[in-house]
Amino acid sequence: MQHGKHQSATAVVAKVPGGKHPGVKQPRVKLSTRQKMERAYHQYGFPLGFLALPVVIYAIFVISPFVQSIYYSFTDWTGLSSDFKMVGFKNYDWLLHDDLFWTAVGHNVLLLLVVPLVTLGLGLFFAFMLNVGGRSKKNAAVSGVRGSSIYKVVYFFPQVLSIAIVALLFQFTYNPRNGALNAFLGGIGLDSLQQEWLADPKLALWCLMVVMVWCNVGFYVVLFSAGMSAIPKDFYEAALLDGANRITTFFRITLPLLWDTVQTGWIYMGILALDAFAVVQIMTVGPGGPADSTQVLGYMVYTKTFRDGQAGRATAIGVAMLIVTLIFAVIVGRLGRRERLEY
C-alpha cells in the first residue's frame, strides 16, 4: 500500500511518492477554483461512483448495527424491550470480575492458537505430500502422488457441508454409548481408549477443535496444493541438487513462496475459530460444559442476550471479542512482515 499523505479534500493531490498508478493522476500547478472542482470531479468521480453503493450497503447493514451494539454495551438493555438507560462502564466492570468471562477468554485464545496452527499445518503437510511425495519419475525431480486429484476431491468434502450439519454428525460420533467413535475403538479391541469425549471436561474442548480442524483441512490442502504446483519444478530440482533434502526444500522454498496464502488462510481460520458458536451450541454438554470447559465468548454473548435477557452485558462481551480479534489480527500482521520472496 502507498504511503500517500492525503491533503484536504479541496486540494489537488499533487504528488504521490512512488506513485504506482499512472493514468490516474498527473501533477499540475496553479488552477482556478472551477478548474479545481472539475479536476476533483475528474479525479475522484470514478472512485466515488464505484464506492458509493458498496459503502452505503455496508454502512447500513454492518457498521450501524455494530456501532449501536457498542452503544448498548453502556446500557442496561435487556434485549427484550426498548426500555433501557445508560449505566456507564458498569457492564465492563461486571465483565472484568466475572470468572466465566475469563474462562471463556482463555478458551478462545486456545482456539485461536491451536485451530489455525493445526489446520494450516496439516493442510501444508498433505499438500506437500500430494505434490512432492510421489515416486520419482524419469525427468522429474519431484512428483505428486498418484491419485492426488481424488484425494483433493475427497478432502474437500467437509468444507461444503454446513457447520450445523457437521456438528450434529459429530455429536453422534462422540456419543459415549453408541457413537461411532467408541464403537469403532471397541471393535478393534481398544476398549481402554474409549472415552466419554464431550462429557469429559479435559477432552471436550479438544473434541471441538478436532471437528473444526476436520472441516477445514481439505480446503487448505486444495489451496496450498494449487500454490505448490505453481512453484516451478526447477526450484526443487536445483535445491535437491544442491544437497538439500525435502524437509529443507519445504521450509526454504515452499513455505516462503506460499507465505501470502498461508497468511490469508490464517486470518480466515482465526475468525472461524473465534466463532466456535455453532459447535459449542450444538455439540456440548450444557451447552458450554461440562463444568464450563467449552464456554466461549460467542456462546456467552448468545446466552446473555437470549437466555438471561442481559443484552447490555452481552454486547460488552461482544466488544471484548472484537478486541481479542483485533489483537489476533495485529499479531498475524506482524508475522506477515517476514521477508517475502517473489518469483
Partner 1 sequence: MGSTPDFGRRDLIKRSAALGLVAVPSISTLTACASGGDDGNKVDKGKKSDKNPLAVNESAALDVVIFDGGFGQKYAKDAEAEYEKAYPKTAGKVKHSATQKIQTVLQPRFNGGTPPDLIDNSGAEQMDFGTLVAKNQLTDLTPLLDAPSVDDPSKKVRDTLRPGVVEMGQFDGKPVWILYYAYTVYGVWYSKTNLEKLDAEYPETWDDMLKVCEKAKKKGIAGWTYPGKFPYYMPFSLYPFIAKIGGPDTLIAIDNLEPNAWKHPAVKAAFEAYYELYKKGYILKGSPGLTHIESQTAWNQGKALFIPNGSWVENEAKKTTPKDFQMSVGAPSSLDSSDKMPFGTIWASGGEPFIVPKAAKNPEGGMELLRIMLGEKSTKNFVKQVSSLTSLNGGTDGLSLPPGLQSAQEALEKAGTNVVNPRLQDWYVALQKQQIGVGALGEMMAGRMTPAEAIKKIQKFADETAKDDAVKKYKHA
Partner 2 sequence: MSAQAQPSELPGAIKEDEAPGAAGKAPGTGKVPDFPPKGRISSEGKVLNVFSHGMLVLWGLLVTLPLLWAVMSSLKTDKEIFTSPWGLPASLHFDNWSRAWSKSNIGDFFLNTVLVVGCSLIGTMLLGSMAAYVLARFEFPGKRIIYFMFVGGMSFPVILALVPLFFVMRNMSLLNTYHGLILVYIAYSLPFTVFFLTSFFKTLPSSVAEAALIDGASQTRTFFQVMLPMAKPGLISVGIFNFLGQWNQYMLPTVLNTDEDKRMLTQGLVQLAASQQYKGDWSALFAGLVLAMLPVLGVYIVFQRQVQTGLTAGALK
Is 44 one of the binding residues for partner 1 (CB under 8 A)? no
Is 251 one of the binding residues for partner 1 (CB under 8 A)? no
Rounded to the nearest whole angstrom, what is the least distance from the CB of residue 167 to partner 1 in the complex? Answer: 13
Residue choice 75, 293, 294, 305 for contact with partner 2 (CB under 8 A): 305
How far apart are alpha carbons 50 and 23 in whole angstroms? 17
Rounded to the nearest whole angstrom, what is the least distance from the CB of residue 222 to partner 1 in the complex? Answer: 20
> H helices of the chain, where?
33-58, 64-72, 90-96, 99-132, 148-160, 163-174, 180-187, 204-229, 233-241, 246-249, 255-274, 277-283, 297-302, 311-335
48 alpha carbon, distance to own chain's centre: 30
Is 268 one of the binding residues for partner 2 (CB under 8 A)? yes
User: Exposed, middle or buried, 22 (CB in 10 Å: 0-12/13-18/19+)?
Assistant: exposed
User: Between residues 94 and 214, which has the closer beta carbon with respect to partner 2?
Assistant: 214
How far apart are alpha carbons 154 and 268 in whole angstroms? 22
229 alpha carbon, distance to own chain's centre: 24
How far apart are alpha carbons 198 and 182 in whole angstroms? 12
How far apart are alpha carbons 197 and 171 in whole angstroms? 10
Residue choice 139, 189, 307, 337 for contact with partner 2 (CB under 8 A): 139
Give me 22's grid cell.
499512472
Each residue 105-134 as x (binds partner 1 by CB under 8 A) or -, in order, gives: ------------------------------
Is 206 one of the binding residues for partner 1 (CB under 8 A)? no
Is 59 one of the binding residues for partner 1 (CB under 8 A)? yes
Q: Is 8 helix (H, G, I), strand (E, B) or coil?
A: coil
How far apart are alpha carbons 83 and 142 in whole angstroms? 68
Each residue 201-220 as x (binds partner 2 by CB under 8 A) or -, in order, gives: -------------x--xx--
Is 259 one of the binding residues for partner 2 (CB under 8 A)? no
Is 341 one of the binding residues for partner 2 (CB under 8 A)? yes
Each residue 5-44 as x (binds partner 2 by CB under 8 A) or -, in order, gives: -xxxx---x--x--xxxxxxx-----------------xx
Is 109 one of the binding residues for partner 2 (CB under 8 A)? no
How far apart are alpha carbons 212 and 292 in whole angstroms? 19
Q: Are 269 and 116 in contact (CB under 8 A)?
A: yes
Is 34 one of the binding residues for partner 1 (CB under 8 A)? no
**Which residues partner with 278 through β-bridges?**
none
Rounded to the nearest whole angstrom, what is the least distance from the CB of residue 212 to partner 2 in the complex? Answer: 14
- Closest by CA position to 131, among listed 259, 229, 241: 229
Task: Count residues binding partner 2 (CB under 8 A).
Answer: 139
Look-up: residue for cell 450444538? 282
How far apart are alpha carbons 147 and 113 in whole angstroms? 33
Task: Count residues binding partner 1 (CB under 8 A).
Answer: 51
Residue choice 250, 288, 293, 295 for contact with partner 2 (CB under 8 A): 250
Each residue 272-311 as x (binds partner 1 by CB under 8 A) or -, in order, gives: ------------xxx-xxxxx----------x-xxxxxx-
Each residue 67-86 as x (binds partner 2 by CB under 8 A) or -, in order, gives: -xx--x------x-------
The residues of the shown chain that bind partner 1, judged by CB under 8 A, are 1, 3, 59, 63-64, 67-68, 71, 76, 78-83, 94, 174-177, 182, 196-201, 260, 263-264, 284-286, 288-292, 303, 305-310, 312-313, 333-334, 336-337
